[in-house]
Amino acid sequence: MSSKKNVDITKTLQDAENSRKQKYYRKNVGFFKLLEKIKLWPARSGVLHGIKSIKITSNTAEITTFCGESFLVWNSRNSRASRWLRNKLSFSACGKCKIPDWKIEKYTATMMTQKWGSGL
């Protein structure tokens, strides 16, 4: 039971922000393309899930996570994910998806430099 606990990655996010320089995805990289690349999805609850598969159609993507969730997302530059990171809310990583640390670091570094639809 305890092995399924979510992992607090707030510290990781802060570290990533402190050393922002890494990967820089150009602004016009599509939201789905980015998801396809980082294979991580921040759920509404603030929990990061690993993406097992992503099926992209023109305007939507069907995402299946490692812990068995499946849902449809719309292509949006104003993503909830990027808003959250800009607002520096805390995140945790899904214990069932078993996301490796390097993936989370890659994700945070990416999210920090990518300003989806911010216009700021």
Task: Note the residues at the interface with Zn ion (CB under 5 A).
Answer: 49, 65, 67, 94, 96-97
Residue number, 4 or 27, with CB nearest to Zn ion: 4
- How far apart, in whole angstroms, are the C-alpha atoms of residue 74 and residue 111? 18
Specify the DSSP class assigned to residue 44.
T
The smaller minimum CB distance to Zn ion, of residues 7 and 29, is found at: 7
d(CA 30, CA 37): 11
Q: Which residues pair with 74 in a beta bridge?
A: 60
Nearest residue (CB) to Zn ion, 68 versus 117: 68
Minimum distance from residue 49 beta carbon to Zn ion (Å): 4
Report the distance separating Cα 75 and Cα 28, nearest Å: 13
Least distance (Å) from Zn ion to the CB of residue 18?
27
Q: How far is the CB of 104 from Zn ion (least distance, A)?
A: 13
**Residues contacting 14, CB < 8 A, separation 6+:** none
Smallest gap, in angstroms, from Cβ of residue 25 to Zn ion?
A: 23
